[in-house]
Amino acid sequence: MNKEQVELLQKLRALEFTAIDLNLFLDTHPECQEALHDYNRIVKELADVRCAYEAKFGPTLNFGLSESKMGWRWIDGPWPWQAGY
Amino acid sequence: MWIYEKKLEYPVRVCRPNPRLAKDVITQYGGPDGELSASLRYLTQRYTMPTNQAIATLTDIGTEELAHMEIVAALVYQLVKDAPLHQIIEAGLDGYFSDHDRAVFWVNSEGVPWTAAYVQSKGDPIADLHEDMAAEEKARATYENLINLSDDPDVTDVLRFLRAREVVHFQRFGETLMRVQDYLQCKKVY
């Protein structure tokens, strides 16, 4: 995995973690407008970063949630638990 | 329905084999307070939760726990992957090796396989949510023990992340318990 891929992946991971944490917070604070606003903003940012990552490094999601434009790249390694990911 | 995302929630990069530490960490894969227990407990208790809010919380935390199970598996996998046999024997993992080689399996640190008896699905939302809060605290305590046992800073870093998530989950379950209690109180007023 080259430097660019590592950096984009880290950006994706950070944004998605923010989304996970806001999601859980909203589950018990559904009336909080500030958290809802943040969540919706992160969803957009996350979609942009995912798009940029996948255009270069292949799909991050299976079952129809990510396009695989340059051949079927879902089967490409490394997988997330492997060294070099 | 679940979708797999080809990434870990938190990165795992272990530089050197350490089967002794793998033997300790594996309890969070298949031990009583591990991530398999957590994910399956929440994902099966959700069917009988009385409110949509509680169902959402159990679904989402249960799903995050599946991701934590993958993180713990990645730790164990990387800690034993290139370990020489003599290190595995010295760590007392030879019995595990006999049955599983360097594969990842659901056992606690003493090799006891995972059992559904570790968890409960009571059908009583108050009892279930109290169990969930206790489960988060037990997992937090286990991660603290593992942090004390760890001699690898890369592993400790991941254990700290997982410990912090248990604290957040405990908080969300506590809030959910209060909401469910309010809901059940309202239902009793005629």
Q: What is the pLDDT of residues A38-56, one digit of tens each?
A: 999 999 999 999 999 999 9
Taking only the tens place, the pLDDT of each residue in A27-38 is 999 999 999 999
Percent of chain B with pLDDT over 70: 99
Q: Examine residue B32 and say whether the peptide bond preceding it is cis (omega within 30 degrees of 0).
A: no
Residue B6 in tokens? 């080809």
Where are the domains positioned within chain A? 3-66
Give me the DSSP letters along A2-39: -HHHHHHHHHHHHHHHHHHHHHHHHHH-TT-HHHHHHH
Q: Which residue in the set A24, A29, A81 is minimally distant from B168, CB to CB?
A: A24
Give A21's contacts in chain B (Cβ within 8 Å).
168
Q: Which residue in the set A20, A63, A81 is minimally distant from B12, CB to CB?
A: A81
Higher per-residue confidence, A14 vs B186: A14
Taking only the tens place, the pLDDT of each residue in B62-115 is 999 999 999 999 999 999 999 999 999 999 999 999 999 999 999 999 999 999
pTM over the 0.95 mark:
yes
Q: Which domains does chain B have, with CATH numbers?
A: 19-188 (1.20.1260.10)
Query: Which of B6, B49, B71 to mutate to probe the A interface, most A CBs <10 Å?
Result: B6
Average pLDDT over residues B149-157: 98
pLDDT at B104: 98
Distance CA A49, CA A70 (A): 18
Q: Note whether B180 and B49 are within 8 A (CB).
A: yes
**What amino acid is encoded at A22 in this protein?**
L
B188: pLDDT strictly greater than 80 = no
Average pLDDT over residues B121-147: 98
